[in-house]
C-alpha cells in the first residue's frame, strides 16, 4: 500500500509539476479569508471578489471593523454570503483580539478561529507557512478512496490514515496534486480513466470510460478546472 501510494504520488508529480493552490493571495491573512469564502463555490469565483475585498480591507483589523453589509455586497456572488461574512469578520475579530491581527502558524490555534476547520487550517499552513498538511476536500476524499488508500469517510480519519502512507514533506504537494487530478481527470461522475496517467496503479480503473478517445474528451483544461468546485 505504501509503495503504491508513493508511486501514484510520483506519477502525479510528473503529470502536474506546477500543482499549487489556485486561490489568489499575497499573505496568510488573504489565504485564510479566501479559503473560507471558497466553500461551496469555485476558486475562480473567489478570485473574482477578493481583489476588491483585500483592497478595501487589507488587514484583519480593517475587516473586523467593517460594516457587514458592505462585506456582504462584495462577497455576495460566492453564495451563502451572510454566513461567510459572519465567518470572515468573526475570524478577523479573533485575530485582532488574540493574535495582534496576525495569522497563527499552528493548527491548534487556527482551528479555534470562527469558520476555520482542519481543512482550511491545513491549506493555510501548507501554502502560506510551508508547514506540511493534508487538505481533505471533496476531491481528496474521492481520489483517496478510489486509489484504495482508505475506506474512511470522516475527513480527520482520512487525514490520519493517509499521513502514514506518504512522507510528511510531501503532504501539502500531495494534497494539491490530488485536487488538480480530481478537477482535471478523476471526476466524480465520469472519470477519464482512459486518459489517466495513474490508470495502471488504480484499483478503480474502469469506473469511467477506458477508451482513450472518449476519455480524452472528459479531460478539463486549466480554465475549465478552475471553474470546478
54, three cell numbers = 483585500
Per DSSP, helices labelled H in 38-80 are: 43-56, 60-64, 68-75
What's the average model confidence in pLDDT over 72-95? 98
pLDDT reported for residue 223: 83
In b/e form, how buried is each residue of 54-74, taking b as 16+ CB within 10 angstroms? beebebbeebbebeeeebbeb
* Element housing 159 (H / E): helix 155-163
**Rounded Cα distance, 74 and 219, in Å:** 33
CB 189 within 8 A of CB 207: no
Do the first three CATH levels of 2-18+134-226 and 28-128 match, i.e. the same topology? Answer: no
Q: What percent of the chain clears pLDDT 90, i.e. is strictly above it? A: 96
Domain limits, the chain = 2-18+134-226, 28-128
pTM: 0.94
CB 77 within 8 A of CB 86: no
What's the average model confidence in pLDDT over 74-97? 97
In b/e form, how buried is each residue of 14-32, taking b as 16+ CB within 10 angstroms? ebbeebebbbebeebbbbb
CB 178 within 8 A of CB 139: yes
* Element housing 128 (H / E): helix 118-128
165, three cell numbers = 502512507
Residue of higher predicted confidence among 210 and 227: 210
Per residue, the 3-state secondary structure of 202-227, as one string, reads CCCCCCCCCCHHHHHCCCCCHHHHHC
Cα Dmax for the chain: 57
CA 73-74-79 angle, 5° bins: 80
**Residue 228 pLDDT greater than 80, yes or no:** no
DSSP at 189: S
Give the mean pLDDT of the chain. Answer: 96
pLDDT reported for residue 57: 98
**Rounded Cα distance, 216 and 206, in Å:** 14
pLDDT band at 229 (very low <50, low <70, confident <90, very high): low
103, three cell numbers = 495569522
**Residue 126 pLDDT greater than 90, yes or no:** yes
75, three cell numbers = 462577497
Q: Which residues are catalytic?
A: 119, 137
Going by C-beta distance under 8 Å and a sequence separation of 6 or more, which residues neighbour residue 118? 107, 111, 136, 155, 156, 159
DSSP at 103: P
DSSP at 40: T
Fold of domain 28-128: Endonuclease III; domain 1 (1.10.340)
CATH architecture, domain 2-18+134-226: Orthogonal Bundle (1.10)
Amino acid at each position: 500500500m505504501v509503495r503504491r501510494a508513493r508511486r501514484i504520488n510520483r506519477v502525479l508529480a510528473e503529470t502536474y509539476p506546477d500543482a499549487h493552490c489556485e486561490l489568489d493571495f499575497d499573505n496568510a491573512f488573504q489565504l485564510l479569508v479566501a479559503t473560507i469564502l471558497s466553500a461551496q463555490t469555485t476558486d475562480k469565483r473567489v478570485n473574482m471578489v477578493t481583489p476588491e475585498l483585500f483592497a478595501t480591507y487589507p488587514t484583519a483589523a480593517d475587516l473586523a471593523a467593517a460594516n457587514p453589509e458592505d462585506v456582504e455586497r462584495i462577497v455576495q456572488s460566492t453564495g451563502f454570503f451572510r454566513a461567510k461574512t459572519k465567518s470572515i469578520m468573526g475570524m478577523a475579530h479573533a485575530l485582532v483580539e488574540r493574535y495582534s491581527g496576525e495569522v497563527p502558524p499552528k493548527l491548534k490555534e487556527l482551528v479555534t478561529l470562527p469558520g476555520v476547520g482542519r481543512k482550511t487550517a491545513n491549506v493555510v499552513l501548507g501554502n502560506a507557512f510551508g508547514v506540511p498538511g493534508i487538505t481533505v476536500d471533496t476531491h481528496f476524499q474521492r481520489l483517496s478512496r478510489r486509489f484504495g488508500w482508505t475506506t474512511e469517510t470522516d475527513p480527520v480519519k482520512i487525514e490520519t490514515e493517509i499521513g502514514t502512507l506518504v512522507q510528511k514533506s510531501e503532504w501539502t504537494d500531495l494534497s494539491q496534486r490530488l485536487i488538480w487530478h480530481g478537477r482535471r481527470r478523476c471526476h466524480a461522475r465520469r472519470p477519464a480513466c482512459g486518459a489517466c496517467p495513474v490508470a495502471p496503479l488504480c484499483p478503480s480503473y474502469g469506473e469511467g470510460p477506458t477508451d482513450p478517445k472518449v476519455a480524452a474528451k472528459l479531460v478539463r483544461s486549466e480554465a475549465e478546472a478552475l471553474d470546478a468546485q
